[in-house]
Chain A
Amino acid sequence: MEKIKQNPLVKKVGFNRVVLCCVLILMYVLFCIASPNFVGLPRILSALNYAYFLGFLSLGVTFVIATGGIDFSIGPVMFCSALVSGYCLTSYGMPVGVSLIISIAVGLLFGIFNGYLVAYWSVPPFIVSMASMNIAKGVASVFTKTQSVSWPQGASDQGWFRKLVKIGNIPVGLFIFIAVAIICAMILNKTKAGRYILSLGSNKEAVRLSGVDVKKWEMLAYVICGILVGIAAIFFVGAYTTVQPGYGDQYNNEAIAGCVMGGTSMAGGLASIAGTVIGVFIIALLQEGILALGFTKDYQLIITGIIVIVAVYADVVARRRKN
């Protein structure tokens, strides 16, 4: 074990991430063995479709958790974005491009709302999340008059946005997702914003006493999350057709699961985009696999819940040991 840890390549990538990659591959193999029809490209593409929007959600919530906060309104806000922009598209006849921008705008607005309350008013993040979650569901229902919204099919002349997800069998979405993930990693690791966001998650007062306006940067984390949620909505509707109001909660947990599994600490200050990406793939594959094995969505919920508990507990134990 120690020898593996000392291996230079392992050290560069990070031991945790190597373990996660192994888990991912192992899972895939196990699923293939358990269910022969799991093998092959269609399943992988299906899992990828799930991974895109979940991935953007996860990337977004990584920024928030890095500040030591939490946002579990991301699922419902994503749905709100998808529904509101979709309604604009189908009922108000707006062009697809504008709708996509509206989608991001809705996410952005919620991000500003959440961030402002947490950073400037010190409202506990879980209360803001709870309220936002329901406001998002309410807004979506009211806006679409509780109807579901169906985005145009790929074949139609408005369906070009689906090319963002895939063209034929080429997973375009994967490239876009990885590209955005790389941008997020650069923001988090190489920019002033990222430096402040991580630092304030670690030790807010020390950063404030260094002369930094911590409120601004804490709010920014939630704003970035909001934008990514808006983008997630685009990839959700790009992969699937109909969006129904009143849903979205399940994805909260899955997004957080991907994030925490990847090494981001709930206590703040420590975050890994690469870990989040691998974590998301694992969760997406898991959901796909559970369904493939004939189990229902219910098992997805239960298993994801258990995974998050285990991952966060592992984080709690690791932190206690460090102290």
Chain B
Amino acid sequence: MNKKNNVLSKFNNQKFIVLLVVIALFIFFSIMSPNFRKYTTVLSILDYSYYIILMAIGVTFPLITGGVDLSIGTGLICYSLAGGYLIVHCGWPTWAGMLVSVLFGVLIGLLNGCLVSLMNLPPFLATLCTCMITRGLGSLCSKGFGIPWPTAGTEGSWFRNIFKITVGETKYPIGFIWMILLVIVMGFVLNHTKIGRYTIAIGSNKEAAMLSGINVKFYHTMAYVISGFFAGLAAIAYSAVFATVQPGSGAGFELEAIGGAIIGGVSASGGVGSISGSLIGVFVICLLKTGLPYIGLQANWQQIITGLVLIGAVLVDILKKKKAVK
């Protein structure tokens, strides 16, 4: 007898469906454009997906608590600019710059957590503000200039090899392996550790969680710290793939990450979500982003379509809930 409960199996169904969508999109673009079928395209898709995947992994936590973190996009640019500035203009070693980026992310995550959990500000508003603040801070750190992290071949550029290595003539996207590892690790954290468990509890029924003696304020804050931490990692991934990091950019990244997470099964009202689902959802977004130009649509169509897909995913979520009530 199938003892697996309904919610979970429907949820696994959603992940499966989204995976099918990913494959279908890939096939579709491959058919429509011979240029799409090349290995370099796959490399490109993966390169440009790392930072979004990392953001999505992190933002899944605030989303599961029923909140949101809108600061991850401009945040990662800020952290990258800060770390990059120290590397390029202050002569810091690359690893130190990377560390600063991540710590900066954790700090802003802590700020978000305090605003939402301790001061009870609405999450979208609190993180909207930190989004603006990090945008300004980032620009200040780099004195308004774009920062190129050490380019391939120069000293200190080893960090790019984390994501892609060149062996002979071919490049290998080993970054993807790290992503899978992180998904496994964070999936473990979400489902098998206290932090993850209590994050879900808070999103499911904050009152009941409090009555059960859980330190809700602490764990609620931690969800945002995790989001900030991964925004910091995303900063490194972004710098590794793009030549220059420009201040003032970053707005819209969060849509891709949050959209990916919701497509992958995270519920906007909280309590439900998986890391692997977020990963698959992000690939839908990345495929659209990369593939649309190949069928002649300008890259900016991707923004429109991503927005519509996000609304679609949420409507599906709402309709599912309505049916469940009946």
Contacts and interface: CB of A to CB of B under 8 A. Distances in A.
- A contacts B directly in the complex (CB < 8 Å)? yes
B256 to A, nearest CB: 9
Main secondary structure of the interface of A (DSSP, over half): helix
B255 A305 contact: no
Given A130-B254, A142-B300, A300-B136, A123 B318 contact: yes
A134 B307 contact: yes
Interface stretch (B34-42, B123-131, B155-163, B164-172): B123-131
Nearest to B138: A298
Interface string B267-284: 011000000000000000
Nearest to A250: B132
Contacts of B254: 130
A126 interface: yes
A296 B247 CA distance: 13
Contact of A126 (B68, B129, B301): B68
B115 interface: yes
Given A131-B308, A131-B311, A302-B137, A253 B128 contact: yes
Contacts of A70: 122, 124-125
B251 A249 contact: yes
Interface in A132-150: 132-135, 137-139, 141-142, 145-146
A316 B121 contact: yes
B311 A128 contact: yes
Interface string B114-151: 01000111101110111111011111100010000000
29 contacts: A121-B315, A122-B318, A126-B68, A127-B262, A128-B311, A130-B255, A131-B310, A132-B307, A133-B252, A134-B307, A135-B307, A138-B300, A146-B298, A245-B300, A249-B132, A253-B129, A296-B140, A298-B140, A298-B247, A301-B133, A301-B135, A305-B130, A305-B131, A308-B125, A308-B128, A312-B122, A316-B119, A316-B120, A316-B121
Given A299-B140, A301-B139, 19 more contacts: A121-B315, A124-B268, A127-B262, A131-B307, A134-B307, A137-B303, A138-B305, A141-B298, A141-B303, A250-B135, A253-B132, A297-B136, A298-B136, A298-B137, A299-B136, A301-B135, A305-B129, A306-B129, A309-B115
Top 8 nearest A-B pairs (CB, nearest first) are: A138-B303, A301-B136, A141-B300, A138-B304, A135-B307, A298-B136, A126-B124, A131-B307
